[in-house]
Structure 1
Amino acid sequence: PLGGRFAPAPPEGFADYAVEVPGQGDRFVPYAPVDPEAPALIVAGREFSGAEVVERARAEASGLGLTGPGVRILSGLPYDTWEGLSAGLYGPLASGGSVVLCRHLELAGAGVVDQRIEAERVSATAR
């Protein structure tokens, strides 16, 4: 079973992956301390510090419809602008939401986009 353990024991000749390879929590510790005022991002010719990226992402998340954990946004915006990065990466991270990335939404018919929104259980869009 996916990620679960065999009960009571794995079939003959099989190893129980969940026992053999214990899961590890998602933890990140940087090798060197991160200065929040140091340059962290350059987009469209503008430089942002790490603190600015976080502050702006948090401030703009609700305007994108990212109102809290579990909210899903469908974004078709490119990553070469702040708007695209905010909708497709930083906003969802700052709000605890998630993102469905779709390329070339302008080529898809309205019905196709509506089907994607329904199938992905999207609650906000950025196009």
Structure 2
Amino acid sequence: MTPTAQDTPAGLLASALSADPGRPLITFYDDATGERVELSVATFANWVAKTSNLLQDELGAQPGDRLALLLPAHWQTAVWLLACFSTGVVAAPGADPAGADLVVSGPDTLEQARACGGDRVALALRPLGGRFPQAPVGFMDYAVEVPGQGDRFAPYAPVGAGSPALELPGEGTATAGAVVQRAFASAEAYGLKPGGRVLSRLPFDDWAGLAAGLLAPLAVGGSAVLCRNSAELSPEQLAAREATERVTLRV
């Protein structure tokens, strides 16, 4: 499969928004809380724009800064990944916060995240993107700050195919163009076609999880069904979800 002219992850999102803004992009389940959230391309892109403005304007992040992303596979994690790609910030899932310029943490990794000497953002990961009852000391509460950000985003410096974009454990830093090429390659390996829906229970701390849960579907006009805390689902329950969500691939 050959990449289109949209040769950055942010470009892939812009292309999807132009083609069909109303189609589903990410459907998220949390089987510990019963939460189900479905984001269209347009809704997802709006969250990305707001988060990108937060990164660039409120946090003052610069292209090439490293962001340690300490979050599970979640729709808000996908938003943060695309916000990093949009601003030129290097997303580093699972990285040591002590060596990062800023950190984004879920509620279970706050102590680990305190090792970061730069800005710290915390996500409660509550249903409907809810805030913490009380913000953790030393952290910005994402749910409090992001709603007031602008709905349109333009980077101060261009983010091109050669811009550093993604750092994975043991793999070094990949450029934005390399991320796109790998996303298309993963989609081809999956046999994923436009309109395909991938159900993923993989974490977002390696390529397999990022490809299945976000990047491969985004590349080819598909969508992802993310399932968190689903280990206790019976085979029958999982099969029923696949049928309900019209899943074409489970990983």
TM-score normalised according to structure 1 size: 0.71
**Paired residues, number:** 101
Find the aligned partners of 1:37 and 1:96 in 2 and give their Cα distance: 23
Q: 1:107 aligns with which of 222, 232, 250?
A: 232
Contact 1:66 1:95 in 2 (8 A): yes
Find the residue that maps to 1:73 and give its secondary structure.
strand
Larger strand share, 1 or 2: 2
Distance 1:59 1:106, change over 3 A: same
2:249 aligned partner:
124
Where in structure 1 do 4 or more consecutive aligned residues deviate above 3 Å? 26-31
Find the aligned partners of 1:29 and 1:57 in 2 and give their Cα distance: 24
Find the aligned partners of 1:92 and 1:30 in 2 and give their Cα distance: 25
Taking the TM superposition and a 5 Å limit, the aligned residue runs for 1:1-127 are 29-46=154-171, 47-68=173-194, 70-126=195-251
Residues 59-117 of structure 1 deviation map (CA, whole Å, 9 limit, x = unaligned):
1102224222x111111110001000000011011011001100233321100100110
Find the aligned partners of 1:44 and 1:104 in 2 and give their Cα distance: 23
Find the residue that maps to 1:102 and give its secondary structure.
strand
Contact 1:72 1:99 in 2 (8 A): yes
2:79 aligned partner:
none
Find the aligned partners of 1:100 and 1:79 in 2 and give their Cα distance: 13
TM-score normalised according to structure 2 size: 0.37
Find the aligned partners of 2:191 and 2:237 in 1 and give their Cα distance: 21
Find the aligned partners of 2:155 and 2:170 in 1 and give their Cα distance: 27
What one-letter code is carried by the residue in structure 1 that aligns with 2:179? V
What one-letter code is carried by the residue in structure 1 that aligns with 2:233? A
Contact 1:73 1:122 in 2 (8 A): yes
Work out which of the two has the higher radius of gyration on C-alpha atoms and give 1 or 2.
1
Which segments of 5 or more consecutive residues in structure 2 lack a partner in the other structure?
1-45, 47-151
Find the residue that maps to 2:231 and give its secondary structure.
helix
Q: How far 1:28 sits from its partner (Å)? A: 6.0
Contact 1:65 1:123 in 2 (8 A): no
Find the aligned partners of 2:191 and 2:228 in 1 and give their Cα distance: 20
Which segments of 5 or more consecutive residues in structure 1 lack a partner in the other structure?
1-25
